[in-house]
Amino acid sequence: MIRKLKADVVIAGSGAGGSAVAGELVAAGLTVVVLEAGPQRFSPLGTHVRTVFSSEADLSRVGDVIYGEMLTNPSMAAEPLKNIRDLRVSHHTGGMFSLWMGNCPRPDASELPDWMPVADWEPYFDKASRLMHIDLQGGGSGQMFETLLGRVQSTLGHRAKGREVRPMPVAARRVDGVFKICSSDDLFFRDSPSPNNLTILPDTIATEVLVSGGRAVGLRGVDRLNPAEEIEVSADVVVVAGGTVGSPKLLANSALDHRPALGAYIHEHACIGSRVTLIPEIRALIRDDEPVYSIWIPASGEKPWQNQLCRFTLSSGGGRLAPGIREVDSSDIFTFVKIDVRPENRFHFDPIRKDPFGLPDVTASYALSRADRLRIGQAMAEHFLIASDVGEVEPGWTPTLYAAGGSTHFMGSCRMGAEDDGTSVVDRFGRLWGYEGVFVADNSVIGTPNSGNPTFTTVAQCLRTAERILLS
């Protein structure tokens, strides 16, 4: 049985990219249908897990839900992706956007593509900031936070202009007294009731982009719980927003793009992590209900890595804490190091074998270059300097390089470019080369090395894609 719908635009995926595009188009009056492979976990649809478990006391429960229930292998596969075994995704309404930490580091100019002037990004960054409710001082406040911030600033000394140590910008606000991290519900609905011109279909796997004569005509999908039930949405515009693994799989399954760039140039930031017990003079300032915080040491051209001190979401097991130490007495430290973007780091699509979603199974070729390893070594030294100056490194939690995929920020498989020269999949607005009305809008289009959570940049870019759709 085939269920047939019609819309102006159909979107595959309900994460940051899909919701950013959908919200913009719906606000302009277009009818939009969104297909989401996973279920609706929380209400309102696409809301953040912290909105459901909102108190500081719930942090361990948040960790249990994220790590035990929400993160999965791509396409809900039983086995991890070969050669990138720590790559995890989240299949449900909101996707990874509903479990992220809300950190919104502004990219350095060196982290943006050279084919677009930096100044041209500003209108989209400004709009993304408003829609995501970004608080530039949201990383923290209070005596303990200011003392810790000052100590880190003193330890690191001079930084590049505009890239000084500061509170992390956070996409969060208080709504009716509840701490609310921005998620898909904010971008879909924009603080309004669910609009009549937006339809979101959970548990519906997008399987094929439909085209005719080089133009988009719709999207085909299946009910995940009952694969015999098919759906076909007719639309003049199709937006693929399934993430860095899901989007190239859908394009490959649709046999739309045979360019060598599809699935290539995958990258993340190498991730270093440690945990310290803060020094006694800082612990003396900590309240029992000390809120979460985040200190940002931005990346720059001369130091292409980002450091962050924060209270990370723990699971209820508590095994990460030293005996006699409260969670609030400790701090996580993370360093994200840019890696080179190279075509040999890529996904390989199996022409026969299918994944649990009925899309091509993929394996990966992925390795660090010598330059990457040298950069990681420099970043590791600075990480240890910070850790040893603000606290005592916990036994078993010394600075460690995470396995590939550990950043949770994979990018690049549908790389954006200025020219159709074989090194990119989409043009500078996200349109698939060679087709009209087919766009990609998610982390997969980011093709430039970077060192921070890409969500803010992705939303800004997707607002630009939505603008182009409206103009066309």
Residue 178 pLDDT level (bands cut at 50, 70, 90): confident
Confidence check: pLDDT of 246 > 70: yes
CB 425 within 8 A of CB 90: no
- The whole-number pLDDT of residue 143 equals 95
- How confident is the model over 146-155, as pLDDT tens digits? 999 999 999 9
Residue 319 pLDDT level (bands cut at 50, 70, 90): low
For the record, the structure tokens of 115 come out as: 């084919």
9-12: strand order across its sheet: 198-201, 32-35, 9-12, 237-240, 438-440
Give phi and psi for 213, each to the nearest 5: 60, 35
- The whole-number pLDDT of residue 174 equals 85
Residue 65 pLDDT level (bands cut at 50, 70, 90): confident
Confidence check: pLDDT of 50 > 90: no
- How confident is the model over 376-434, as pLDDT tens digits? 999 999 999 999 999 998 777 889 999 999 999 999 999 999 999 999 999 999 999 99
Domains and CATH numbers, the chain: 1-132+182-265+343-366+410-472 (3.50.50.60), 138-170+269-338+368-403 (3.30.410)
- How confident is the model over 364-375, as pLDDT tens digits? 999 999 999 999
Higher pLDDT, 327 or 340: 340
CB 320 within 8 A of CB 397: yes
CB 184 within 8 A of CB 94: yes
The pLDDT > 90 percentage for the chain reads 82
Average the pLDDT over 115-141 and give the result: 96
Q: How far apart are CA 168 and CA 8, in angstroms?
A: 38
Q: For strand 32-35 and strand 9-12, is the pairing parallel, antiparallel, or unpaired?
A: parallel
Task: Name the pTM for this structure.
Answer: 0.95
DSSP annotation of 322 reads P
Confidence check: pLDDT of 316 > 90: no
Give kind and range of the element (H or E) at residue 180. strand 178-181
Q: Is cis: bond before 44, omega within 30 of 0?
A: yes
Please state whether 213 falls in left (phi above 0), alpha (psi between -120 and 50) or beta: left
Confidence check: pLDDT of 163 > 90: yes
Higher pLDDT, 326 or 445: 445
Higher pLDDT, 42 or 221: 221
CA atoms within 13 A on the CB side of 82: 10
Instruction: Give exposure, 265-290, as e/b (b: 16+ Cβ within 10 Å).
Output: bbbbbbbbbbbbbbeeebbeebeeeb
Provide CB contacts within 8 A for 311, sequence distance 6+. Answer: 59, 292, 293, 327, 328, 330, 331, 332
Q: In the predicted model, what is the mean pLDDT of the chain?
A: 93
Q: 């701490």: which residue's tokens?
A: 179
Higher pLDDT, 212 or 328: 212
Give kind and range of the element (H or E) at residue 255. none
- The whole-number pLDDT of residue 357 equals 97
Q: How far apart are CA 211 and CA 438, in angstroms?
A: 9
The pLDDT > 70 percentage for the chain reads 96
Give phi and psi for 337, each to the nearest 5: -115, 130
